[in-house]
Structure 1
Amino acid sequence: MKIGDRIRSLRLVKKMTQGQLIEGIASITYLSKVENNQTQPTDHFIKKIAERLNIAPDILLEQTPDGFAKKLENIYDHYWKHDILSEENLALLQVQVNETHVNRSFLMIFTTLIRYYFVGFRLHEAKFIFEQSTNIINVYDSSIEERLYFNYYLICGKLLMDLHMPLQANEYLLRCESYVAGADDQDRAKLYFSLSIVNQQLNEDKLACLYYSGKSYEYQKKLGDSNRLAMVLFTRAIQFHLVNQPMDAMNSLREAKACYWDQDNPNLHAILEYSIGRVHQVGKDYDQAITSYMNATQLYLKSSFKEKSIQVHKRLIEIYIEQKEWKLVEEHLNQAQTIAMERKNLYYDVELDILQASVYKHQAQEAHYEKAMRMLIEHCMELEYYYHIKNLATEFGAYFYNKQSYKKAATYYHQAFHAEQMQKSHYSGLLGKNHVKLT
């Protein structure tokens, strides 16, 4: 990686335009030539650019600094324990992505960067670094410590969940579980909580998600983290409703509300209000659900990730469809779609399009419904969303059957059956992999 590439890479990381970086130093034309490696910058220029980037000049000058392996080890361990990564160390890791390193070093570099961007809600950067990592990291290197693989698979799985890629998230989390011996109790609790959420989405047998949330609950109770314990309990309350165990759901809800969680943190408070709403919604207590969802919406708007409010709008849309409050359905659908447009190039929100199709169906707009469903199934096939394909194709088959269009009905019923087989095959394969470490 040449010096121009390093300057450009770090400028983009800091979200600076060429004009912002070069102001008062030189011309944009000169910077463009440097970044394109058409001219060799002067020492004075490098010093001024490093100051503007708030880094040491050596980061721009050296391919791999002396003692980098030891420094990387310290950066990695410190960040994983304390969640602190200085601007200079971030810049150092960012430029080292494109240098030559042993597999172990790459694993620490990529894990740290993915986690840093993910925790900072910078999903575009996290996704880009994750995709780079899949082309560079050798996952079959048996000489590397289990904890390094565990940390890498865990953060990748959590990222894929936020990118609305549950099948891929499940794959990474199951790989992570095969290295659980290298993790501490806090990270084991995080893993099992993530697995419970993914299984809630993908697995027909909802007892599987309760199994994983139960393991997370055991670890969190032992650790005494009331914030995370409340989150697990709210989730278990939802899952108990899904398996028709309302008494257990209410017990989990009561225990969660009794936790002394941090209500002054708007991010956390929003998530927990959303979870309370989900418990009431699944339990058919719509008035209480709406109250909690509206609280969550207001909190998300004050928090650092307003896009999370899309989930609240989706749940409100479901309730208002049930109540045939079409004006409110349209209002929340428009709000969700407006926010989702900002993330359209990052991930495909299948749930939002399913809700739109559902609105067309309930309002007897058959032409719009049929077009929306065909496009939905095509998108899901491209993304291998077998769970959604099965449900959508089954619904579409029933729709055509009721219209006495039996040939089309048979086509979609067959597609649903095929998707179910593919889902079972893929899931069984992942479970099989989980019992054999990647060596």
Structure 2
Amino acid sequence: MEIGSRIRFFRIQNNMTQEELAQEIISISYLSKIENNQTSASIEVLELLCERLGIKLIESEEYAQLKELHDWYHLMVARKREPAVSFYESYECKNSNDSRVAIFFVLFELRYFIFTNQLDKAEAQIKRMELYRDILDIRMSYFYEKFVGQFYYLKNHFSAAMEHFKVAEEILTSSVHFESWETADLYYYKGLNNNRMGKLALSIVYIQKALAIYQSLYDLKRSAECQILLGICYEKINEFEMAEKNYLLAAKVAEGINDSSLLGLIYHNQGVLYSKVGKSNEAIEQFLNSITHKEEHMVIGKLRSIHGLIEEYYKIGDHERCQKWLKEGFALVETHQNLQDFTIHFIYYDYLLNKSENLSRFIEKDALPYFEGIEHHLHVAYYAEELGKIYQENHKYKLASYYFSKAISSLKKHSHLNQ
């Protein structure tokens, strides 16, 4: 890496302004030219700048550290939470003088923040990296695009996520060599994101590609995750037998490798399937099984199952248990950040149970604008239809017609037929 790019990178990492770095050494305009590799400075000037930054003028590739960082990244890809967290907490080279080591650490730290659901830190990291995005080489750029895509996926900004995943795939299929498990991981996330966008045919294509690679690597856990996602796709297009087949295949693997959290995910999706075919009691049983199998850090997974329980108990008229799980849901949401989806779902059911006069206003002013903002078309359709029913019951037929039309339009956007 050119010395000017190195200086800019380490200055930004040290939270220094150009004025602070240049003070009593050179002018700010001259430093700017150095950082943009537009001029060649003297050795004396470069040494003074590097000394202030705490780095060496001449760097040597630290291959052992690079391998160590890539091994850490692989732990995150393999979903090995405890060793990944342990590595980060004990890693001693976070301020390496080697620019490649330092940049890869920043990149994989971004993935770590996403992996541990520290999205505020991830967002801050992305903003800082945008300041030196142009100095990343092609391999670094791949990881940057992939990780930013994963960040937007978790923020429910699926269109933005897909744009970054597309760029990552273009790099992946170019001349740059990546391990096959890396290819499979990107395909899995593209399948996941397409699923959330309602592009189910594309989702199935990418997940089947990922599954083929994982099976060739004998990666049982990731193969099971692919089977689960295929089941979700088939459930959404009402291919219930295919969905159940995939869930059973995944369950067999999860039981074989004794993976409790994976079983929790399978039970949840079986609950969704039973709910869709009108088997509320079976759905409730699976949602309860799911919660008991999910680890403490799996907050979003627990909330999804709690939401499922609330829906099913409300359907069968068991308002006492519905209220109990609503209380559990609110308590869990209050202790964590970035869970606006569930806050809206729970407030909605709270208003329903208490027959609040504020229900229609809440849907119109809070629920619909939020889900429209993040392009979650299925939730928009659901809440628009519920609002339409309320207005219809109150003989406000023009408003009812408007929201029923919105529901239909949103369903079309979500549907796999609209690809």
Q: Same fold (TM over 0.5)?
A: yes
Q: 2:164 aligns with which of 154, 157, 172?
A: 172
Q: CA deviation at 1:113?
A: 0.9
Instruction: After TM superposition, list the pairs within 5 Å mapping 1:327-406 onto structure 2.
Output: 327-344=320-337, 347-357=338-348, 360-361=351-352, 364-383=355-374, 385=376, 388-389=379-380, 391-393=382-384, 395-397=386-388, 399-406=390-397
Find 1:216's aligned residue among 190, 210, 222.
Answer: 210
Deviation per CA, 1:231-264: give whole Å up to 9, x if none.
2212222321221212222322332233265654
- Percent identity over the alignment? 13
Tell me if the contact between 1:192 and 1:212 (Cα under 8 Å) persists in the aligned partners.
yes
TM-score (norm 1): 0.67
Quote the residue 2:22 is aligned against: none
Contact persistence 2:185–2:210 (CA under 8 A): yes
Do residues 246 (structure 1) and 246 (structure 2) align?
no
Residue in structure 2 matching 1:117, options 113, 117, 124: 113
The 3 A distance-change label for structure 1 pair 417 and 307 is closer
Match of 2:253 in 1: 259
Q: What corresponds to 1:149 in structure 2?
A: 141
Letter in 2 for 1:166: F
- The Cα shift of 1:295 comes to 2.6
Q: Give the Cα–Cα distance (whole angstroms) in 2 for the partners of residues 384 and 292 of structure 1.
A: 29
Partner deviation per Cα, 1:309-367 (whole Å, 9 max, x = no partner) = 112111212222222222222221221122112233xx243244135325635765343
Residue matched to 1:312: 305
Residues 279 and 289 in structure 1, CA contact (< 8 A), matched pair in contact too: yes
1:374 Cα deviation from its structure 2 partner: 1.7
Q: How does 1:405-420 map to 2 (within 5 A)?
A: 405-409=396-400, 412=403
Structure 1 Cα separation of the partners of residues 379 and 242 of structure 2: 28
Aligned to 2:133: 137
- Equivalents in 2 of 1:260, 1:392: separation in Å? 35
Deviation at 1:401, TM superposition (A): 4.6
Match of residue 185 from structure 1: 180
Q: Does 1:227 align with 2:221?
A: yes
Structure 1: gaps spanning 5 or more residues: 10-59, 429-439
1: distance between equivalents of 2:350 and 2:70?
50
Q: CA deviation at 1:273?
A: 3.5
1:111 and 1:359 map into 2 onto residues whose CA distance is 42
Q: How does 1:267-282 map to 2 (within 5 A)?
A: 267-282=261-276
Matched, 1:324 2:327: no
> Residues 263 and 269 of structure 1 are in contact (CA less than 8 Å); yes or no, is this contact kept in structure 2?
no
Aligned-partner residue type, residue 357 of structure 1: Y
Q: Distance in 1 between matches of 2:412 and 2:241?
A: 34
Correspondence for 2:190: 195
1:108 corresponding residue in structure 2: 104
Letter in 2 for 1:219: I
Specify whether residues 365 and 394 from structure 1 end up closer, same or farther in structure 2 by C-alpha distance, changes over 3 A only. same
Distance 1:107 1:410 in 2: 55
Select which of 259, 265, 286 maps to 1:292: 286
SS of residue matched to 2:395: coil
2:152 to 141, 146, 160: 160
Structure 1 residue 75 displacement after superposition:
4.9
C-alpha separation in 2, matches of 1:388 and 1:69: 53
Query: Which AA in structure 1 matches 2:202?
Result: A
Assess if the C-alpha contact under 8 Å between 1:150 and 1:179 holds in 2: yes
The answer to whether the 8 A contact 2:254-2:260 is kept is: no
Distance 2:220 2:254 in 1: 6
Deviation larger for 325-334 or 403-412: 403-412
- Note the aligned Cα RMSD (angstroms): 4.1
For the 8 Å contact 1:262–1:269, the answer to whether it is kept is: no
Q: Structure 1 268/125 Cα, relative in aligned 2: closer, same or farther at 3 Å?
A: farther
Rate the CA distance shift 1:383–1:250 in 2: closer, same or farther, 3 A: closer
In structure 2, do the counterparts of structure 1 residues 67 and 315 end up closer, same or farther at CA, with 3 Å as the change threshold? farther
Query: Relative to structure 1, is the Cα distance of residues 322 and 217 closer, same or farther in structure 2, using a 3 angstrom cutoff?
Result: farther
Looking at structure 1, the residues matched to 227 and 413 of structure 2 have their Cα atoms a distance apart, in angstroms, of: 32
| In structure 1, distance between residues paired with 2:242 and 2:405 | 38
CA shift at 1:68, angstroms? 5.1
Q: Distance in 1 between matches of 2:354 and 2:200?
A: 31
Letter in 2 for 1:91: K
Segments of 5+ residues of structure 2 without an aligned counterpart are 1-7, 17-50, 77-83
SS of 1:244's equivalent in the other structure is coil
Match of 1:91 among 90, 94, 106: 94
* SS of the residue 2:137 aligns to: coil
